[in-house]
Structure 1
Amino acid sequence: MLPVARRGGRGRPEPTLTTAAYLSRINKDGMRENYTLHKLHSLTGVIPVGFYLIQHLTLNSFSLAGPQYFNGVIHFFESIPVHVFWVLKYGVIWGSIIFHALYGFVIASRGELTNYVGQNRKYRENRYYQLQRVSGIVAMLFLIYHVASTSVLGTIKGQESVNYYHNWADKLAGPTFGIPYLILAIYIIGILASAYHFAYGLWNFCIRWGITVSESSQNAMAKVAKIAFPAISLIGIAALFGFFLHEDPKHPKTGSYSESGLSRQQSPALEGEQQF
């Protein structure tokens, strides 16, 4: 369960790890954290970064319907005027991601573990907070790899050589460094880290922006976050396994991955790392 603000003496909220972290307090270095930057950091984590995460995984789940539907999503984005696409992608989305990541590292480096509550609750909340920081780092490293192996490589080689359904089917099924399912495992870990980071961040966002003030409202939002984490994870992981369900008729099988023991076979179009 996510931690919530509790009532202390005389009816005042008893500071917890998360509520204390969001009060522009004096940190361990004696520096007052910037209130405005904290607000922007929490906002960008939900809009547009969180929204982008959900829509990205949802559109990728078209893999469950088949190659023509998944490839149709790629064709749609290719049809967007270049100047509009670049403003949205690099200005709005990537600008927000970079700011959120950089300031997130600043917050993590100055973060203090709670000493305000009872021992059991204190350690539980510390674990949640530590996991939030770790999940953010894992998600950022995963995002760097993902972008390099999809958007960047797709720009260099062309989308059909990198990001189409058959490319993803081959990429996830084949061994990497001799290890079967390695890329699939990396993506599952990346999705889980991203989903947890967003779900926990959504709960914190509601506190910082005054949406959930009372203990009951924070409890209710904690339940929403507990549902959001597995729900988002399920969408992303289901999208991955959608690439094992169909064969692209335009790219017949020509060989097999004997190392992985999979029945899915390699397409000759696969030349390197692939946009999920």
Structure 2
Amino acid sequence: MKQEDYPALFLDADAASNLYQSKFLRLIRGEYMVLFLAAVFSMNFFTDVIYGVLYAGVFFVGLLVLVSRAQTKPEQWWYRCRALAESVKTLTWRYMMRATPFEGDEATAKLKLRDELHKMFRENKDVAKQITNDWSGNNQITEAMVEVRGLKRVDRMTYYLKHRVDEQRGWYNRKSKTNRDCAKLWFWISGIAYVLAGSMVLSRIAYPDWKFWPIEPLIVVATSIVGWMQIKKFNELAAAYTVAAHEIGLIRPMADAVTNEASFSEFVNDAEKAFSREHTLWIARQSD
């Protein structure tokens, strides 16, 4: 299932979510950079007026970044756009698999899907105002969606297991590993910064005549890394993604009990509920 094969509403919400995520993380990095520069200026390399003005200017830039983040709240729009995108994706898969309430003839199912998308759009009006219009010219019901829906039940189930269940499980596994690796990496970098700062404190005792020890910048680096780890929640997400991957692994064997359209519909809806539950919990954790 290619990205562009999903409804236009999903594509726009997905693009908006990625955009606000990038904006939020850029602002956070900007704040950390301002604090680092302020720590560097605090070492008082010079005593002239220009140096003092630049030093003060760093704090005003930091204030602008802080106000921008507080006013635009990109992290909230990131989560809400992601929730909308994932909700549309769930509808898409239920439609393609002929799961309730999209069973029956094609015309009725298309009408039902359009109604559900309209309802979702109206319920998320404030979010809809924030999404991009990059994909607004695309169809809400694509040819690929109709083509998959037209497959026989056995082929649809094979497609669903491969491109939805296994793909979701693989995504959670990859994310779990990535977050564990990032947690370890940033832990060691933070530890190195603390060791260097401590070493420089001792060096300053041994060499009191040298005034420019970058202890304060190293402290800012270390504390910024701690803050970054708290924002990204590497350890927490690694554990959550591992649990999600295991849960999806337990869902897959349930496909063996599918013998007709009704049981297949039930299986798909149960699986989509599990995916939605995991994503809802992820949104809640990110919003804490």
Normalised by the size of structure 2, how large is the TM-score?
0.31
Instruction: Give 1 or 2 for the bigger CA radius of gyration.
Output: 2
- Structure with greater proportional helix content: 2
Normalised by the size of structure 1, how large is the TM-score?
0.32
